[in-house]
Amino acid sequence: MKILIVDDDALIRDGLKILIDLENDFEVTGTAANGQEAFEMCQKQRPDLVLMDIRMPIMDGVLGTKLIKQHFNTIKVVILTTFKDDDYIKEAIKSGAEGYILKNQPSDSIIESLRAVGKGNIVLEREVASALSTMLKDEKKAPLKLDLSDRELEILGLIAEGLSNKEIAQRIYLSEGTIRNYTTGLLEKLKLRDRTQLAIYYLKNF
């Protein structure tokens, strides 16, 4: 998996590069100091995953994530930051980030989070997931909530837990192709863009 590291602290960039390059299944294709540089490098390099800090000069990680996700829907973004600010969490996930993890995590936990996102999971550090769920449920409910079948609700809930299609298929004894079809149907019915937005919809409404 090709990874782009984005952080305004050169020491952190270099440390993450050393850590990630030790893994046989990872390759660091480059580093950037802000969201604008990250977007420009994505245009040239097309990494599989961007590991993005939040608070950076010129362009922060939220706007950088939004730009990348708008133009490259196959590139995954994981936020790696020291900040647990509610607004940062909410805006980063709404912008399309597939993960939000904190820098105080052990290095092996960060690596496993990147692998999980690469496999199609959504990864939220426990404190972040709890804060996001509370924030979304405190917001006003959407005025229109489309009817979903019990099976669709079940699959939507498992997506919100961060499970991949393969893991959902194993959990409820259906084929991976069937889960993929359900997921596509949910995206169309709810007029959402990706799995992250499906997870947000579930946390906000159920």
120 and 156 assigned to the same domain: no
| Pick from 26, 204, 2, 199: nearest CA to 100 | 199
| The two three-digit tokens of residue 136, written as one number | 């979304």
Would you say 54 and 88 are in contact if contact means Cβ atoms under 8 Å apart? yes
Each residue's pLDDT, cut to its tens digit, for the chain (206 residues) gives 999 999 999 999 999 999 999 999 999 999 999 999 999 999 999 999 999 999 999 999 999 999 999 999 899 999 998 877 767 777 888 888 999 888 888 999 999 999 999 998 888 877 666 666 666 666 655 545 568 899 999 999 999 888 899 999 999 999 999 999 999 999 999 988 888 888 888 877 77
- Tens-place pLDDT, residues 51-96: 999 999 999 999 999 999 999 989 999 999 887 776 777 788 888 8
> What's the total number of domains in the chain?
2
Residues with Cβ within 8 Å of residue 43, at least 6 apart in sequence: 71
Residue 3 exposure: Cα atoms within 13 Å on the Cβ side: 27
Q: Taking the model in full, what pTM does it have?
A: 0.76
Q: The CATH number of the domain where 145 resides is what?
A: 1.10.10.10
Q: The CATH number of the domain where 55 resides is what?
A: 3.40.50.2300
Q: Identify the domain containing residue 25 by its residue range.
A: 2-136
92 and 145 assigned to the same domain: no
